[in-house]
Structure 1
Amino acid sequence: MKLIIGGAFQGKKEYAKQQFSLQEDQMRDGKEADFEELFRVPCLYHFHEWIQKGLKLGWDFDGITERLLQENPELILISNELGYGVVPMEAFDRTYRETTGRICTKIAAESQMVIRVVCGMGMVIKNA
């Protein structure tokens, strides 16, 4: 697995397309993807929004990292970093931010590569 993180509008998706020779039809928007699509697509962007949707729909995220490693080990995930700035006032927003951070932390630990993109430039954080 590969995890690409960074702030909003920093060029993460375009970086992934160039770096890993991805075509648009190989990429799925997390805002639109259902739970099972995560285990089939080559690349999912807006992973943080996939998690947000899942929280609203009551998806069970337990064991997600292990399942990804078994069923879709070549997956490229692209997610916004959400843990910076003001702590949200709404309880759901705090839960969403914390859940996204915890899931991404587990995925990063198991990923072969983690890249942070800022201003369209990737910085490799991990390359196992």
Structure 2
Amino acid sequence: MHFVTGGAYNGKTKWVKQLYSLENDVLWLSGYRKEQPEMLDFQGNTVVLQGLEAWIQHAAEGMDSHSIRKRWKDIIADWRIWESEKEERSCIVIGSDISKGIVPIEARDRRWRDACGWVYQDVASVCSRVDIIWYGINQRIK
């Protein structure tokens, strides 16, 4: 499993597509399009979960931080099982960094920011590789 993070519009998607030469046989699920990130019966080799922060933001509208974190631990665990079933499979998780800047005034926005930080830590801890992308340039941190 590979986690890619960095600033919004800093080239994460382009970098992932180039690194993995993604064209066919890819399941690309997007939090920006409000697609569900849960495990599907996908027989291909590559899954990309893009927009982790968008899924978490949507969840923060009606869930507490603990529930959001648990939900994402379960989702990631399912995709890790899928990935482990065949050696050629890989799951890539992409999430924009929202931790910079001023702490939000609204409780919902603080819940979103906090939940993102915790979920990102959980995802990074189980991934074999973690990269940060700034201005189209990667820095491998794990």
Residue in structure 2 matching 1:76, options 89, 92, 97: 92
Deviations 1:36-74, CA, capped at 9 Å, x for gaps: 258967001111101111233547541334334224453
Map of 1:30 onto structure 2: 31
Gaps of 5+ in 1: none
Distance 1:38 1:44, change over 3 A: farther
Q: Give aligned-pair identity as a percent.
A: 26
Distance 1:22 1:11, change over 3 A: same
- Summarize the alignment of residues 10-29 of structure 1 with structure 2, pairs less than 5 Å apart: 10-23=10-23, 26-29=27-30
Matched, 1:44 2:44: no
Quick one: which amino acid aligns to residue 27 of structure 1? W
Root mean square deviation, CA, Å: 2.4
Larger radius of gyration: 2
Distance 1:38 1:102, change over 3 A: farther
Gaps of 5+ in 2: 85-89
**Displaced runs of 4 or more, over 4 A:** 37-41
Matched, 1:6 2:17: no
- Summarize the alignment of residues 87-98 of structure 1 with structure 2, pairs less than 5 Å apart: 87-98=103-114
Map of 1:108 onto structure 2: 124
TM-score by length of 1: 0.84
On the 8 A contact 1:29/1:46 being kept in 2, the answer is yes
Deviations 1:96-127, CA, capped at 9 Å, x for gaps: 0110110110110110000000111111110x
